[in-house]
Amino acid sequence: MNYNIALLKGDGIGPEIVDSAVRVLEAIGKKYNHTFNFTPYLIGGCAIDATGEPLPKETVEGCLASDSVLLGAVGGPKWDTLPGNMRPEKALLGIRSAMGLFTNLRPAKLYSALKDECPLRADIVENGFDIMIVRELTGGIYFGERGMREGKYGEEAYDTECYSRMEIERICKVAYETALKRKCKLISIDKANVLDSSRLWRKIVHEMEKDYPEVEVADMLVDNAAMQLVRNPAQFDVIVTTNMFGDILSDEASQITGSIGMLPSASLGDNTRGLYEPIHGSAPDIAGQNKANPIATILSASMMLLYSFNLKEESDNIVNAVDKVLNAGYRTADLSHGKEYLSTVEITDKIIENL
Ligand code: IPM
Ligand code: MG
C-alpha cells in the first residue's frame, strides 16, 4: 500500500527524532512492501522564524490532505517571550483542533529491561504496570474562554474549564472501547468534589456504564490519582480524563516508566487520520547533538501503523525490535547514568537491525 505522511519536525530535537522514525518506517516499508511518502511542513518556532506564525495555513492544509501526521516537538527558549497566541505551543493546540483530534492515547508501560530505571521501590513495580491514558484533547481549560480583566484586586487573568455533554460522551466512548480491548478496567479521573464540569463528567461516565457491562468502571479524584500512580501503578488499566489532568498525569506516568524519552502518543478524531508524537518536549539543551532518545517517536510511528493504517504486524514488529534492543542492554543518554550510551542515529540503527 501507499501512504502519505505529513512530517512536522518542529524545533529542538524534533528533526533528529523524526528522522529516526522515518528511517524505521522506511525499513518497515521495504520489509512489508509498503510505500511511505513523506512531506515536511513547518510548525512551531521554526515556522515563526520562516513565516511569522507558528501554524502556517499550508501546514494545516498539508496535514488535512495527508493519510496521517508524524510530529517531533515544538518550542524553545528563543520563542518563550512571545505573547501566548504566537507561541510555538499554540501551534500544537491549533493543529490538534484543526484536525479534530479529540482523543489522545498515551500508553505508559514499564519495560522489563528498564525496571531499574523506575524511581519507585522494587516491591511496588515487581509485576510491572501497563496503563493506557485516554486524555481528552480539544476541550477543557486549554480551549475555554480566557482573558484579562480588572477584578477585585486589580489586574487579573482567567481561563475557563468547560465540557459539553457531547465532548464527554465521545471521549468516554473511546475509553470504554479501549478498556474492552484490554483488561476491562476503566478509571475516570476528575475533581468532582469541587468542579461542576467534573460533576457532569462523572454523571455521563456512569450513564454510559450500562452500554459496557463487561467494563468495571470507577471514579478517582485527580489529587488521589496523582498519589495512586506512585503508590500502586499496577492498579490502573485504562484511565480517562480531561485535557489538563491528562497532560499532568501522563508526565507523572512517564517518569515511573524510567524516562520520558520512552513514551509515544496517538491523537485521533473520528476518522483514521491521526497525529503521532512523543509526549516529551523539544529538549533544546541537547538539540543537534545526536544525543536524544528517539524511541518515543519511533513507538509513535508504530502507533500510526496500528491506529491509522491498521498494520498490526508491522506495528508489533517495531515494538518488538525496541524491546530486543533494550533487552540487549543498549541505552541512550537519558538512560545511561553517565555510562556509555548510543547516539540517536546508533540506537536507530540497532532498532532497524532488529526489525
Ligand atoms: C503535551 C504538551 C502540550 C500539551 C503543550 C506543549 C501544549 O505538554 O503534549 O503534553 O499541554 O498538550
Ligand atoms: Mg504535557
What single string gives the DSSP state of each residue in 264-317?
--EEE-SSS-EEE--SS---GGGTTSS-S--HHHHHHHHHHHHHTT--HHHHHH
Pick the residue whose CA is nearest to atom 12 on ligand 1.
Answer: 247
Measure the CA angle with vertex 109, ends 4 and 132; round to 5°. 65
pLDDT per position as a tens digit, 262-310: 999 999 999 999 999 999 999 999 999 999 999 999 999 999 999 999 9
pLDDT at 84: 86
Mean pLDDT, range 197-213, rounded to an integer: 98
The ligand placed nearest to the CA atom of residue 278 is 1
C-alpha cell at 153: 484586586
What would the mean pLDDT of 251-269 be, rounded to a whole number?
A: 93
Instruction: Give, in degrees to the nearest 5, the angle at Cα 306 between 344 and 184.
Output: 115
pLDDT band (50, 70, 90) for residue 88: very high
- Taken in order 170, 172, 176, 182, the sign of the CA dihedral is positive
How far from 283 is each of 26, 99, 190, 294, CA to CA, in Å? 25, 26, 30, 12
Please tell me the predicted confidence (pLDDT) of residue 112.
Answer: 87
Ordered by where they begin, the domains of the chain are 1-109+270-355 (3.40.718.10), 119-256 (3.40.718.10)
pLDDT confidence of 258, banded at 50, 70, 90?
confident
Which ligand has the minimum distance to the alpha carbon of residue 248? Answer: 2
Cα 106 to ligand 2 centre (Å): 11
Ligand 1 pocket at CB < 6 A:
89, 92-93, 247, 279
C-alpha 95 to ligand 1 mean position (Å): 12
SS3 content of the chain, % helix, strand, coil (to 5): 45, 20, 35
pLDDT attached to residue 270: 95
Examine the pLDDT at 85 and tell me if it is beyond 90.
no
- Closest residue by Cα to atom 11, ligand 1, is 247
* Average pLDDT in the chain: 97
Q: Do 29 and 36 touch, CB atoms closer than 8 A?
A: yes
Say whether pLDDT at 259 is over 90: no
Q: CB-hemisphere CA count at 13 Å for 296?
A: 30
∠263-264-267 over CA atoms, to 5°?
Answer: 140
- Tell me the pLDDT tens digit for each residue of 14-37: 999 999 999 999 999 999 999 999
Nearest CA to ligand 1 atom 6: 89
- Residue 274, CA distances (Å) to 35, 68, 71, 91, 349 in order: 18, 5, 11, 16, 26
The least confident of 152-156, 250-254, 264-268 is 250-254
| CA–CA distance, 11 with 162 (Å, rounded to integer) | 31
Using CA atoms, how far apart are residues 329 and 352, in angstroms rounded to an integer?
Answer: 16
Among candidates 9, 16, 43, 8, which has minimal Cα distance to 289?
A: 16
pLDDT at 337 over 90: no
Predicted TM-score (pTM) of this structure: 0.95
- Report residue 320 as a C-alpha cell: 518488538
> What percentage of the chain reaches a pLDDT higher than 90?
96
- Work out which ligand 1 atom sits closest to the CA atom of 250: 10
Picking from 181-195, 249-263, 299-313, which range would have the lowest pLDDT averaged per residue? 249-263
The residues carrying an active-site annotation are 142, 191, 223, 247, 251
**Whose grid coordinates read 468502571?**
217
Ligand 1 nearest-atom number relative to CA 96: 12
139 C-alpha to center of ligand 1: Å? 13
Residue nearest to atom 7 of ligand 1 (CA): 89
Residue with cell 525490535: 321
Q: Which ligand has an atom closest to residue 75 CA?
A: 1
Please say if the pLDDT value at position 134 is more than 90: yes
DSSP string, 54-110: SS-HHHHHHHHHSSEEEEEE---GGGTTS-GGGSHHHHHHHHHHHTT--EEEEEEE-
Q: How far apart are CA 34 and CA 25, in angstroms?
A: 9
